[in-house]
Amino acid sequence: MAWSRYQLGLAALMLLTGSINTLAAKWADNFSAAGCGGMKEHSFQHPFLQAVGMFLGEFSCLAVFYLLLWRDRRRPEPSMAPSQPFSSLLFLPPALCDMTGTSIMYVALNMTSASSFQMLRGSVIIFTGLLSVAFLGRKLELSQWLGILVTIVGLVVVGLADLHSSHDQKHKLSEVITGDLLIIMAQVIVAIQMVLEEKFVYKHDVHPLRAVGTEGFFGFIILALLLVPMYYIPAGSFSGNPRQVLEDALDAFCQIGRQPLIALALLGNISSIAFFNFAGISVTKEISATTRMVLDSLRTVVIWAVSLALGWELFHGLQILGFAILLMGAALYNGLHRPMLARLARSRADGSEAERERLLHAENTTINSER
């Protein structure tokens, strides 16, 4: 079945904005600028402020939802189905998970490459599968367990590629290892978020834009308030700012004022996350969850290719192998192999039928010639 123009647009939007989201965040991390009070030039390492920006992008989806709802209600025949009554506080636990996981991932992005960051995020299927068995009572099929095992192998290969490439990049070996472990740790929290959403939120048939926007609202408000105590909490060498505190938002704004391109990178990150979330949920609804998985995998290829082209990282063959194994694991877990096997079985059946007809035709020809 051919895709409509709307479906093609959604797929392209998801691929483009998803790639921009990670690349814009890494672009901001690569800048250096002077800070406040005459501080010397230093790297822009403000992961928690970047996470606040991401939630601002998600929060903007709520405004778009109410705008669409207002326009729909002005029509003679509204098309947007009303959702079941629910409390917005249902979104608070998933939002807290999203806030924690996202903040950890932005910290990790300062320590490793953009492509490894994106590849290692594929480990989420391991923890989602295990948690869905434990808390949702779901029974995984053999192919899903196999997909989890293959994904673990892929993570090991990507980790080895990072260890091999750490000597060629600006990151120390200890930073690369810490960054990779933080990314995988964040996927545990993301998996908890997904399980919470499935158990408590999805049954209310909430519009995708409203769901994303409400989680963004809670994440933005809570994390923005937490920036105040973070300004005073010492973090030592773990911190990337001159004051060595958990987050120095004032230093970040001073750096943005002295290097306007940082603001452009942050704007790209904020706007892309809003469109990416909407496009991803819409692709699942309009096309399929399998298509969303394939597009997410293609996003990794785009991020890797752009990072290589810009010289942010060097080419290593182990990354190709690791990505291929991760892609195979995700395909097995999401059941992408089923339509391929069904198509193969159908083609074999058609071939057998054609062969049988050919033999029958030959047999009839032989009988007629003998007469």
pLDDT digits (tens, 9 = 90+) for 75-106: 887 777 666 677 888 889 999 999 999 999 99
Please compute Rg for the chain using Cα positions.
25
Choice between 371 and 105, residue whose per-residue pLDDT is larger: 105
Integer Cα distance of 240 and 238 in angstroms: 7
Tell me how far apart the alpha carbons of residues 166 and 177 are, in angstroms, rounded to a whole number: 9
φ, ψ at 33 (rounded to 5°):
-160, 160
Q: Which residues pair with 32 in a beta bridge?
A: 43
Q: Specify the higher pLDDT residue, 194 or 218.
A: 218
Mean per-residue pLDDT over the chain, rounded: 84
Confidence of residue 248 (pLDDT cuts 50, 70, 90): very high
Q: Is the pLDDT of residue 201 over 80?
A: no
Reported as half-sphere exposure (CB side, CA atoms, 13 A), residue 328 has a value of 13
Distance (Å, whole) CA 340 – CA 5: 25
CA-wise closest residue to 227 among 249, 205, 252: 249
In eight-state DSSP terms, residue 120 is: H
Q: How confident is the model at residue 24 (pLDDT cuts 50, 70, 90)?
A: very high
> Would you say residue 290 has pLDDT above 70?
no
Least confident of 241-250, 275-284, 351-360: 351-360
- At 235, the pLDDT band (50, 70, 90 cuts) reads confident
- Cβ count near 284 (within 10 Å): 17
pTM: 0.82
Cβ–Cβ under 8 Å, residues 282 and 61: no
The per-residue pLDDT for 351 is 60
What pLDDT was estimated at residue 52? 96
Q: What angle do CA 197, 203, 208 make, to 5 degrees?
A: 65
Among 342, 332, 266, which residue's Cα sits nearest to residue 106?
266
b/e 244-280 (16+ beta carbons within 10 angstroms → b): ebbbbbebbbbbbeebeebeebbebbbbbbbbbbbbb
Q: Rounded distance, CA 182 to CA 101, Å?
A: 9
Closest CA to 106 of 221, 26, 12: 26
CA atoms within 13 A on the CB side of 52: 16
* Close Cβ partners of 356 (under 8 Å, ≥ 6 residues apart): none
Question: Does residue 65 register a pLDDT over 80?
Answer: yes
Q: Tell me the pairing of strands 42-43 and 32-33.
A: antiparallel
